Structure 1
Amino acid sequence: MINADEVAKLCYERFSQLPRRGKPEPGREWTLLAAVVKITRCESSGSVEKEVVSMGTGTKCIGQSAMSPKGDVLNDSHAEVIARRGCTRYLIQELRRAVSGRGSAVFRPSQRGKWRLQPGVSFLLFTSHTPCGDASIIPMTASQSQPCPAVTSANSCERTNGGGDLKRKAEEPGEGQNSKLPRLEEKATQENLKRAEPWILKRNVTKTTEIKPTGSTELSQTDCAVEHPQVPDIHRTGAKCVPGGQDDPMHPGVGYHSTEVLRVKPGRGEPTLSLSCSDKMARWAVLGFQGALLSHYLQEALHFSAVVVGKCPYSPDVMHRALVGRCAHVSDLPVGFSVCSPVLLQSSLEFPFSHNQTELQHQAGRGRVSPCGAAISWCNVTEQPLDVTANGYKQGVTKKALGTPKARSLLCKLELFHSFLSLVLATEASSLPDSLRAAELHTYWDYKQASQSYQQAWQQLRSQAFPLWPRSARDLLLFH
């Protein structure tokens, strides 16, 4: 049995051991943490070993126009995605050890050219906050501060689209101080904070405004309840419904969001093509987290046996709905693929750099609390285990270096593709998987499409559960 607090503590401690580069500024910046943990159970001794093999932080995505046909930009820098891509680097390293005869603690041979997990080995995913998208649309409990209904009167409490970056005209005292309280914008702005952190506008006796996330302060009943009785509400997500499908009704309270729909993450001022982490994790629960390329080498998909969430707003029913329920009916999957229902657990330990903890540590005069602009990747590989990025490129890179290998994240499609090709070259011809024996494999697209079982499973999942999942433009996948 997995102990959620033990997993959270292990991940937080591993994060604390990383270098300072890319970490949030305490008391002013916040971020999200995710990690892939390898579990090794020894049947003879009954012991269980836990090891963090990949870790990621991050809250941001790049817009559609910033995507590169060269595959050299990291599109999605949410923590869960960073951790998963770092795990891909780790798995490629372990497969190279296996195919070269050096032995792997992860993989053992199966049929010709195929590998499977060693007995007793499994992987779980830890994330410090509920994934953005459907899993974050959580009913508020009676013990949580309830927001006031959304209104437009400057004399009443207002609330925004939860998770948005709140704007107002006068954050600091100055002229216009005696005018009406500024109206919070309903629409999320450029950063669009990525998690369902419902916000409350609280007006105190001195008629100044203070923005606090739910849970970090008490809502004064006398401010709002007299005119507006509180209504049941939900935590909200900044991820937007995909075009062509059901939209959010935006009704007051629990009727604000649609549920069980695909959502894209908000970007830096423009739409993105990155699906929410809830959607990606639901996909991994069927197709596996190994991706199309590594499926060439694997006898069966790799699924997370458990998903552990840190202390934050959480609902096990909503998590199950988002990660499992939407795909539970999918059938006719090819051999090696199945609908996996991971164990869902929550820890009582909060990430020290969570938004809530950063707000509690924030001191006046230090500027507003904001998400950290950097994304950190660490994985258990021998060469360059640490990768720190910002805006899709290595942090600190100059404009002059853009488009060169020096600027590329080790997690971008091009770098992971080159790493996979090094695995293919390290494999003896007689041991190559049958799917890699075609002579006409050149581009990233070619290698992904040649993973036929994976593509068949993806087609079944798309047609039965996610018909509106946006397709990547082929011209963004034709790099070598």
Structure 2
Amino acid sequence: MADADEVARLCYERLEALPRRGRPEAGREWTLLAAVLQRRRCAASHSVKTEVVSLGTGTKCIGQTQMSPNGDVLNDSHAEVIARRGCIRYLLQQLHGAVSGGSSSVFCPSEEQGKWRLQPGVSFLFFTSHTPCGDASIIPLTDSPSVKSREGTDAGHLKRKSEDPSEGPHTKMPRVDREETAERRTEDREDTKTSFPSNSSKSEDPSQSHATETVSHASAELEIKTRGPSHSAGLSCQVPDIHRTGAKCVPGGPEDPLQPGTGYHSTGVLRVKPGRGEPTLSLSCTDKLARWAVLGFQGALLSHYLQEALYFSTVVVGKCPYSQEVMHRALVTRCSHVTDLPAGFSVTPPVLLQSSLEFRFSQAQTELQHQAAQGRISPCGAAISWCNVTEQPIDVTANGYKHGVTKKVLGTAKARSLLCKLELFRSFLSLVSATEPSARPSSLRRTDLQTYWDYKQASRSYQQAWQQLHSQAFPLWPRSNRNLLLFH
């Protein structure tokens, strides 16, 4: 079994080795970190080598009107999504080397023509510095020893502060790298690190707030009656309550009751990522991790080349509010009953572990280090991607585009993230071109494949597996708008 602290340490060290561009400002900005790690077990020496192959930071995603039909905008910049998409870049390079007759540290030929499989002893792990947004973050306060054991810390420093109500609506500015602009135009990841009862502003609509999901006035009164006013800010929380998520229930299903305490949320439901302003269409990272445990994290395009889907053997969470029971419910139980999957796909729940090492750019650590002169604490507007590829391993973005680009280059290659759909699609087409026609998988020998949509739909086994998952576990999962996938 993987050592959770060793996994976390490798991820934190990988970030520290990168250039400072895109990193949060210490004591004023916070972010989240996620990574994909590759493990190689050597049978001869009984040794195990673990290395980070993709890393991402980020907390934001764009609103639905900012999505591009050209596939040139990075829709979701949450750390977990950044890390997974960076891993796709890594796998594409590995496959490119394999089909070109070179070497690959990951893949070897399978029995099926044109298909590849993992080399013996190779597996992948996933790390996230905080419980993923959505269902996995709806945690009873009593299940968070990492919060309760934080000695000498005032509770107020461990919860997300309400956003300044004076901030205006989304505005378009000529530069997309300005962090305040990015914060206004994007959807923030808002899962409550802690949610100690407090009074909500009467003018705030809790269904729209992307800041601290504060407990209602009634819950605050309940705490005072239960514990007395002198203990209302204590860390040893006795009144039943939960850590909140800002992710909203998908339309058409159960809604959050918004009742005091543990009655605030519905659990086990699909959620879209939160934010003020226009809605986002991005599903929560919890939901995406649960989906990857059935369909694999390789996606539809790479499934053309793989005999079997790729699954994370382990998911490690850094030091933060955490519940093993809730993580199991969110990532495993919801899909455990799915059956009739095509060959190469299976329900493959990961081992769930937590590290005792906390990310130094977490919100809790940022608030502990914050100085009054630094101004308001806020999520970092930039997202960093690093992956183990030979060309352009680092990609820093803000608001769906490369960090620092000006408005006049939007819509050009200079503005595109290397992780956007268009760039990954072009890398995939390069892989197809590098494969001898006679050595291509049968699904790629058709002559009518042109658009991104065409290639995704031609991955028949993947689409069949997705249909089974959709019908049996996630019937409310929103379908992608086809008009946003017709680029080529």
TM superposition score category, shorter chain reference = 0.7 to 0.9
Scaled by the length of structure 2, what TM-score is found? Answer: 0.85
State the aligned residue count: 439
Instruction: Tell me if the contact between 2:385 and 2:395 (Cα under 8 Å) persists in the aligned partners.
Output: yes
- Paired with 2:481 and 2:315, the residues of 1 have a C-alpha distance of 31
Q: Give the 3 Å change call, closer, same or farther, for CA 475–248 of structure 1 in structure 2.
A: same
Secondary structure of the residue aligned to 1:416 is helix
Deviation track 1:305-343 (CA, whole Å, cap 9, x = no partner) reads 000000000011111111110000000000000000111
**What are the superposed Cα offsets for residues 82-104 of structure 1, whole Å, 9 maximum, x if unpaired?**
00000000000000000011121
Could you say which residue in structure 1 is the equivalent of 2:103? 103
Deviations 1:367-395 (A, max 9, x none): 11110000000000000000000000000
Equivalent residue letter for 1:140: L
**Structure 1 contact 55–377 (Cα < 8 Å) conserved:** yes
Do residues 434 (structure 1) and 442 (structure 2) align?
A: yes
**Do structure 1's residue 223 and structure 2's residue 229 form an aligned pair?**
yes
Question: Which position in structure 2 is the counterpart of 1:206?
Answer: none
Alpha-carbon distance between aligned partners in 1 of 2:439 and 2:33, rounded to the nearest angstrom: 38
Selected match of 1:277 from 282, 285, 295:
285
CA distance in 1, matches of 2:161, 2:446: 48
User: 1:213, 1:276 → 2: CA distance?
Assistant: 16
Q: Which amino acid aligns with 1:354?
A: S
Structure 1 residue 268: Cα displacement: 5.3
Deviation at residue 62 of structure 1 after TM alignment: 0.1
Deviations 1:180-212 (A, max 9, x none): xxxxxxxx9975442232344779xxxxxxx99
1:97-128 CA-partner distances (Å, limit 9, x unpaired): 00011121100001210000000000000000
- Partner of residue 114, structure 2: 113
Shift of 1:290: 0.1
Measure the CA separation in 2 of the matches of 1:168 and 1:67.
Answer: 27
Alpha-carbon distance between aligned partners in 2 of 1:98 and 1:34, rounded to the nearest angstrom:
27
1:50-449 equivalences in 2 (<5 Å): 50-110=50-110, 111-141=112-142, 165-167=162-164, 192-200=188-196, 223=229, 231-267=239-275, 269-449=277-457
CA distance in 2, matches of 1:467, 1:276: 15
What does residue 149 of structure 1 align with?
none
* Residue type at the aligned position of 2:239: V
Q: Deviations over 1:124-157 (max 9, x none)?
A: 00000000000000111176569xxxxxxxxxxx
Worse-matched range after superposition: 452-461 or 363-372: 363-372
- After superposition, the C-alpha distances for 1:359-417 in whole angstroms (9 at most, x for unaligned) are 00001121111100000000000000000000000001000000000000000000000
Q: 1:41 to 1:190 in 2, by over 3 A?
A: closer
Structure 2 vs 1, CA of residues 25 and 201 (structure 1 numbering), >3 Å: closer, same or farther? farther
The question of whether the paired residues in 2 share the 8 Å contact of 1:85 and 1:411 is answered with yes
Q: Does the CA-based 8 Å contact 2:62-2:186 persist in structure 1? A: no
1:167 CA displacement: 3.6
Preserved CA contact (<8 Å) 1:62 1:268 = no
Give me the whole-angstrom Cα distance separating, in 2, the residues matched to 1:212 and 1:257.
14
Aligned to 1:479: 487
Structure 1 residue 165 displacement after superposition? 4.0
**Offset of 1:169 from its aligned partner?**
7.2
Q: Distance in 2 between matches of 1:278 and 1:13?
A: 25
CA distance in 2, matches of 1:198, 1:19: 31
Letter in 1 for 2:481: A
2:230 and 2:187 mapped to 1: Cα distance?
Answer: 29
Query: Contact between 1:134 and 1:322, CA under 8 Å: does it hold in 2?
Result: yes
- Counterpart CA distance in 2 for 1:5 and 1:388 is 27
> What amino acid is aligned across from residue 446 of structure 1 in structure 2?
D
**Aligned-pair CA distance for 1:223:** 3.3
SS of structure 2 residue aligned to 1:271: coil
**8 Å contact kept, 1:312–1:350:** yes
Q: CA RMSD in A?
A: 2.7
TM-score (norm 1): 0.87
Q: Pick which of 7-16 and 188-197 moved more.
A: 188-197
> In the alignment, is the contact (CA less than 8 A) between 2:194 and 2:321 conserved in 1?
no
In the TM superposition, what are the counterparts of 1:14-25 in structure 2 within 5 Å?
14-25=14-25
- Contact 2:195 / 2:242 at 8 angstroms: preserved in 1? no
- Alpha-carbon distance in 2 for matches of 1:65, 1:309: 33
- Distance in 2 separating the partners of 1:201 and 1:168: 20
| CA gap 1:49/1:230 in 2 versus in 1, 3 angstroms | closer
Gaps of 5+ in 2: 150-155, 168-183, 200-210, 215-222
User: Alignment partner of 2:315: what SS?
Assistant: strand
What CA deviation, in whole Å up to 9, does each residue of 1:334-353 have, x standing for no partner?
Answer: 00000001110000000000
CA distance in 2 between partners of 1:273 and 1:212 (Å): 21
- Structure 1 unmatched ranges of 5 or more: 147-158, 171-187, 204-210
Give how far 1:59 is off.
Answer: 0.2
Inter-CA distance 224–75: structure 2 relative to 1 (3 Å threshold)? farther
Give the aligned partner of residue 33 of structure 1: 33
Give the structure 2 partner of residue 450 of structure 1.
Answer: 458
The one-letter amino acid paired with 1:280 is: K
**Is the contact made by 1:94 and 1:107 (CA closer than 8 Å) also made in structure 2?**
yes
- Partners of 1:293 and 1:451 within 8 A in 2: yes
Distance 2:76 2:424 in 1: 14
Residue identity in the other structure for 2:190: K
With 72-81 and 193-202 compared, the bigger mean Cα shift is at 193-202
Does the residue aligned with 2:417 lie in a helix, a strand or coil? Answer: coil
Query: 1:132·1:196 contact (CA, 8 Å) conserved in 2?
Result: no
- State the secondary structure of the residue aligned to 2:5: helix
Letter in 2 for 1:255: G
**Matched-pair contact (CA < 8 Å) for 2:78–2:189:** no
Structure 1 residues 199 and 235 mapped into 2: Cα distance closer, same or farther (>3 Å)? closer
